[in-house]
Structure 1
Amino acid sequence: MSTPVGAPGSTMSRREFLAATGSAGALGLAGCTAPTEERVQASQTANQATTDGSVPSTSPPEVVDVDEQGGSVTLKSTPARHAVHPLETMGGPVELPRVWAFQADDGDPSVPGPILRTTEGEDMEVTLDNTDGMRPHTLHFHGVRKAWEDDGVPTTTGIRVGPGEKHTYTIPANVPGTHLYHCHYQTHRHVEMGMFGIFRVDPKGYERADREYFMTVKDWDSRLSRMAAGQDATYDPQNRKPDVFTVNGKSAPRTLHPEDGSPIIVSEGDQVRVHFVNGGYMSHPLHIHNHRFQRVEKDGGTIPEAARHEMDVTNVAPAERHTIEFTADADPGIYLMHCHKVNHVMNGGFYPGGMLGGVVYESAMDTDIFAQLMEYAGYEG
């Protein structure tokens, strides 16, 4: 099975993407079908284990249908390198040289972690496998109601999963909606190192939109990552200085890469549903250009229709989850989705970059401007 193109939740295949772009047409104009040696080397660095064999590199987060696995999933964390944007375009390269990435079962490690998806009324058995770990961890799930010992907080439950240990949490899917999970041991450091992900509970009888995507935003103080990698840096959680801003773990223009990034791909007339999650420590007012949307869920609660209204910015606080819906009814083109704290849309001193993605109409993919964006993002066709 091929990896879908677009943000997590996408059903678009690579073949369909190539057909929409005109394959060797517009992409050929940008030189994307004839990658340079530097781009090949950057791609290998981003997607393979490091040459010294020390740690692997992360992959994009996958959606795990836990129901299809009989209601059980195993999570473990592994040290990894995380290429936020591996090329020299638009202020790059940007890297977190050491993260602690979650991986589900035999999947690839990712930051954010795998998206765990289940259905209302099911019980989910989540095993935290720390047998190869070097430090204690736990798992805490937001939103749902669970037994005391499954809350994942070592201070109040007395349960932590030490190196060499495993522990299984029973997580009832009793609150439908989009939620967050993360390590709750030394939270101020372990979340900053990448130990967080999305937990989605579909209501019974759930009807998916034409296009449905998951988007996790995060602000990072890269000093902790650099310190963990042995570089000359000192991290102070009380004097945190965010300098990297991501959408699903990537900074623009890598966010627009169809396989490594998270473009919101739509066709004219689509009903689009986006689940925003803030895995960071700062609020992020997320804005979509040229579209009006409604916020239909917040933190697992359905917003009554009488309380909904048209908007184009939703301010997502730390750990909040906002689900928005809109119709793809704009003039077909390419439109930004970004944090409106404009300094968060930067890679170092370079603008634009950072916490910026895009809504991309399929009919605009066979254009020179889209080919140029793919060149910036490092897509090689």
Structure 2
Amino acid sequence: MSRYVGAPGSTMSRREFLAATGGAGVLGLAGCTAPTNERTQAAMQEGTDAAASQGGSLPSTSPPEVVNVDEQGGSVTLKSLPARHSAHPLDSMGGPVELPQVWAFQADDGEPSVPGPILRTTEGSDMEVTLDNTEGMRPHTLHFHGVRKAWKDDGVPTTTGIRVDPGEKHTYTIPANVPGTHLYHCHYQTHRHIEMGMYGVFRVDPEGYEPADREYFMTMKDWDSRLPRQMAGEDVRYDPRNRNPDVFTINGKSAPRTLHPEDGSPIIVSEGDQVRLHLANNGYMSHPIHIHNHRFERVEKDGGQIPENARHGMDVTNVAPAERHTIEFTADAEPGIYLLHCHKVNHVMNGGFYPGGMLGGVVYEDAMDTDIFAQLMEYAGYEV
């Protein structure tokens, strides 16, 4: 069970979410007509059974958690383990969308997730990040983008001579000397290990950082599902030189699961909120992210502050592979439900079904007790 409602970042409890839906909305969610609810249950079980038959006894991934490394004395342990990943487990809107095996990151005693845990620290601190591969089956490393670090901590085995083999641990010292939003990923056989899910975000808050009213992290990823299927034992062939992405996710989920309040990443706002989104692209393709009915400004790029006189109103920002864009806007539209999506429209699909894929939403709390929100929750598989 997720520790929050909505995208990782700002927290909203499940109780607060249910209160926002209102009594009528809650009843609509739980009890549309009985046949519809039974179909939803059957579809969910069908998706779970299919994944279990493919993935055997593998654990299922959870949504990424935010780890405040400062509160842990500046240290965190990451390990990777095989898991089953349901980008969208139901048959609604072109599903189910399943990756029968991924290599998920897990922080300390948390749950495995794709993307990996969001590591958050403060400028001027050092993070001691231990890669625990004692129970692993293949070599791994950790490479952190953005910050300046010692040569030996760069995480590239061919240039540092350091890799973490099965049965080993290794601790990287990662100075928090470049404020902003950054990435980390495995840099051993990178073309395969990122494709298998070994990626995540870390955030360095500048000294004196003032959070927005709502602040969220969103990671985009395009997948060629042949590699996860091959690793799960299916009779498919993956060629990284002939990559053909067929799954598109935000924070590991495809629409409509992206709108699921606890398993997905809706951007939940109240009218008048100042909203800050940290967008990261861990995929291999660029993704022009568009938000409906809101103008935003890009205030950070790859850990660099954009001067105020260089900012301007936008409604699309094109996030290239490995780029990070932080955008800000005011929730000043008529309260409702507005799309956030990649504007390469074939990325907003589940197979041949549109809409799906790399699509999320900005959801005003005042719109949560409407019939249309209840219908979206049914598509996403959310039940009270």
TM normalised by structure 2 equals 0.95
What's the secondary structure of 1:22's corresponding residue? helix
**Alignment-derived partner of residue 44 in structure 2:** 42
Residue by residue over 1:103-129, the C-alpha shift from the partner in whole angstroms, topping out at 9 and shown as x without a partner, is: 000100000000000000000000000
Query: Residue 282 of structure 1 contacts residue 317 of structure 1 at CA under 8 Å; is this kept in 2?
Result: yes
Shift of 1:4: 1.3
1:3 Cα deviation from its structure 2 partner: 1.8
Report how far residue 46 of structure 1 moved: 5.9
**Residue aligning to 1:101:** 104
Q: 1:141 aligns with which of 135, 141, 144?
A: 144
Q: For 2:77, what is the secondary structure of its paired residue?
A: strand
Q: 1:5 to 1:159 in 2, by over 3 A?
A: same
The CA deviation at 1:18 is: 0.2
CA distance, structure 2, for counterparts of residue 359 and residue 193 of structure 1: 29
Q: 1:37 to 1:350 in 2, by over 3 A?
A: closer
User: Residues of 1 paired with 2:209 and 2:38: CA distance?
Assistant: 46
140, 153, 164: which is aligned to 1:161?
164
Give the residue type in structure 1 aligned to 2:383.
E
Indicate the residue corresponding to 2:13 in structure 1: 13
Q: Secondary structure at the match of 1:272?
A: strand
Structure 1 residue 211 corresponds to structure 2 residue 247: no
Aligned to 2:127: 124
Contact kept? 1:284, 1:316, Cα under 8 Å = yes
Which amino acid in structure 2 is aligned with residue 89 of structure 1? Answer: S
Q: How far 1:39 sits from its partner (Å)?
A: 2.2
Unaligned runs of 5+ in 2: none
Once the two structures are TM-superposed, the CA of residue 28 in structure 1 deviates from its matched residue by 2.0
Amino acid at match of 2:148: R
* Percent pairwise identity: 82
Asked if the contact 2:47–2:91 (Cα under 8 Å) also holds between the matched residues in 1, the reply is no
The equivalent residue for 2:22 is: 22
Residue 365 (1) aligns with residue 364 (2): no
* d(CA) in 1 for partners of 2:46, 2:3: 17
Partner of 1:4: 4
Aligned length, in residue pairs: 379
8 Å CA contact 1:32, 1:380 repeated in 2? no
Match of 2:175 in 1: 172
Q: How far is 1:188 from its partner? A: 0.2
Equivalent residues in 2 for 1:299-314, closer than 5 Å? 299-314=302-317
Larger helix proportion of the pair = 2
Q: Does the 8 A contact of 1:217 with 1:279 survive in 2?
A: yes
Q: Distance in 1 between matches of 2:302 and 2:74?
A: 23
CA distance in 1, matches of 2:245, 2:71: 38
Report how far residue 29 of structure 1 moved.
2.4
CA distance in 1, matches of 2:52, 2:276: 37
| TM-score normalised over the length of structure 1 | 0.96
Secondary structure at 1:36 match in 2: helix
State the alpha-carbon separation in 1 of the partners of residues 38 and 10 from structure 2. Answer: 29
**Cα distance, 1:22 vs. partner?**
1.2
For 2:12, give the aligned amino acid: M
Residues 1:295 and 2:320 are matched in the alignment: no
AA matched with 2:11: T
Structure 2 CA distance for partners of 1:44 and 1:338, relative to 1, 3 Å: same
Distance verdict in 2 for CA 1:5–1:54, change over 3 Å: same
Q: How far 1:37 sits from its partner (Å)?
A: 7.2
CA–CA distance in structure 2, aligned partners of residues 44 and 15 of structure 1: 29
Amino acid at match of 1:42: M
Letter in 1 for 2:71: E
